[in-house]
């Protein structure tokens, strides 16, 4: 058992060494920021600060070790209205299942919908009458293993795709995470989005130029140079403690620290109340560390809250249930982000 702890600590230490955290001078140098967007309603209600307690398919978004906390099979679908008023939405689906006594496997998919964007040109700045919509999609598969029912270790690989009709980029991201649970205390660490640099390519980068030759002008097409970009890697460290009030009431207090490689670090706290898993209420507050100019201030004000309603699907098995989730995150501009979720635990 000691070897498991040593191996886990060494693994995370080596991975953490690759993350240069809390560097606002590098803000804007990364890409694929959809990897930091949260479409899942339960964790969104805590402003994604439940590194120590997250479980099931949505754990692929924050701490992959949490997929090992399901009982048998879980199916989760979620939809979010991102920054209400921008016509951008997020959709996600995931399935996680037990593999043997101690293992668990999960598969998730997330996409962004930007709506119909008018095509404009220098000759027609008001629009040509046609529209386009970027395609942002990522698919991840992860595995978690639980040792002695206390410590879970997880890894995942995620394919990231961004494209237009004549332009595309592709990358691979890797995550690793650990959750430790003993009694009412929980601790979690995760490292996310360590992967390949991405770079756009395609016909849209071609530029036609006229060359004057002996036989007259000739049209040639040149490929314009295009810089690559890194993925927005993060390190999350979280703790939580369950206060049990009788057999049916639970209050969980949690804190979380996020180190961002390309922006300011974040810290926050959250609380969740559960009445026998029939009704769950949650709220959280997160803020960026360090001072910032007004134009550098984050879109989110830091406040988030949400709720879940659960209905048992079986009288014999209380872990089998249907849950409906909702979350709202406040923003400085626009009208906040709404998350809706539907989860089946079988």
Label residue 48 by pLDDT band (50, 70, 90). very high
Report the chain's mean pLDDT, rounded to a whole number: 88
Residue with more model confidence, 77 or 295: 77
Helix, strand and coil content of the chain, in percent to the nearest 5, comes to 10, 55, 35
Side-chain-side CA neighbours of 215 within 13 Å: the count stands at 2
Task: Find out whether 114 and 154 touch, Cβ atoms under 8 Å.
Answer: no
Instruction: Specify the pTM.
Output: 0.87
Contacts for 131 with CB less than 8 Å, ≥ 6 apart: 116, 117, 118, 119
pLDDT tens per residue, range 169-192? 999 999 999 999 998 999 999 999
Q: Does the structure show a pLDDT above 80 at 215?
A: no
Task: Find out whether 227 and 238 touch, Cβ atoms under 8 Å.
Answer: no
Q: Assign 157 to helix, strand or coil.
A: strand
Encoded tokens for 263 = 């922006």
Task: Find out whether 95 and 74 touch, Cβ atoms under 8 Å.
Answer: yes
Encoded tokens for 66 = 């949490």
> What mean pLDDT do residues 123-152 have?
91
Query: In total, how many domains does the chain have?
Result: 1
Q: Is 246 left (phi over 0), alpha (psi -120 to 50) or beta?
A: left
Domain that holds residue 37: 2-345
State percent of the chain over pLDDT 70: 89
> What mean pLDDT do residues 232-261 have?
94
Task: Find out whether 86 and 66 touch, Cβ atoms under 8 Å.
Answer: no
Q: Does the structure show a pLDDT above 60 at 82?
A: yes
**Would you give the DSSP letter of residue 84?**
T
Q: Return the top range by mean pLDDT from 171-175, 196-200, 299-303.
A: 171-175
d(CA 142, CA 126): 46
Q: What is the per-residue pLDDT for 126? A: 87
Label residue 164 by pLDDT band (50, 70, 90). confident
H/E segment holding residue 326? strand 321-331
Label residue 20 by pLDDT band (50, 70, 90). very low
Residue 90: name the closest of 286, 287, 339 by CA: 339
**Region of poorest pLDDT, from 234-248, 288-302, 317-331:** 288-302
Q: What is the per-residue pLDDT for 21? A: 47
In this structure, what CATH number is given to the domain that contains residue 81? 2.40.160.60
């Amino acid at each position: 058992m000691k070897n498991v702890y040593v191996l886990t600590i060494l693994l995370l230490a080596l991975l953490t060494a690759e993350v240069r955290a809390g560097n606002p001078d590098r803000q804007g140098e990364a890409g694929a920021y959809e990897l930091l967007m949260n479409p899942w309603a339960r964790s969104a209600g805590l402003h994604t600060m439940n590194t120590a307690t997250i479980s099931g398919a949505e754990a692929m978004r924050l701490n992959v070790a949490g997929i090992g906390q399901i009982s048998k099979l879980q199916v989760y679908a979620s939809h979010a209205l991102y920054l209400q008023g921008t016509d951008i939405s997020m959709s996600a689906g995931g399935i996680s299942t037990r593999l043997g006594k101690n293992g668990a496997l999960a598969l998730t998919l997330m996409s962004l919908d930007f709506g119909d964007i008018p095509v404009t040109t220098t000759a027609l700045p008001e629009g040509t009458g046609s529209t386009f919509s970027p395609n942002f999609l990522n698919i991840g598969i992860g595995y978690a293993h639980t040792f002695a029912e206390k410590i879970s270790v997880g890894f995942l690989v995620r394919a990231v795709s961004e494209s237009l009709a004549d332009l595309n980029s592709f990358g691979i991201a890797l995550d690793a995470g650990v959750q430790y649970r003993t009694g009412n205390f929980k601790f979690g660490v995760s490292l996310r989005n360590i992967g390949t640099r991405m770079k756009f390519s395609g016909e849209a980068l071609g530029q036609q130029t006229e060359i004057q030759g002996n036989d007259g002008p000739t049209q040639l097409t040149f490929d314009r140079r295009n810089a690559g970009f890194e993925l927005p890697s993060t390190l999350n460290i979280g703790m939580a403690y369950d206060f049990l009030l009788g057999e049916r009431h639970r209050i969980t207090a949690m804190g979380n620290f996020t180190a961002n490689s390309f922006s300011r670090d974040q810290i926050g706290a959250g609380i969740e109340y559960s009445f026998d898993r029939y009704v769950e209420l949650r709220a959280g507050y997160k803020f960026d560390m360090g001072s910032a100019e007004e134009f550098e201030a984050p879109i989110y004000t830091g406040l988030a809250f949400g709720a879940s309603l659960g209905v048992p699907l079986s009288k014999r098995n209380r872990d089998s249930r249907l849950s409906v989730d909702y979350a709202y995150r406040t923003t400085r501009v626009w009208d906040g982000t709404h998350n809706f979720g539907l989860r089946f635990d079988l």
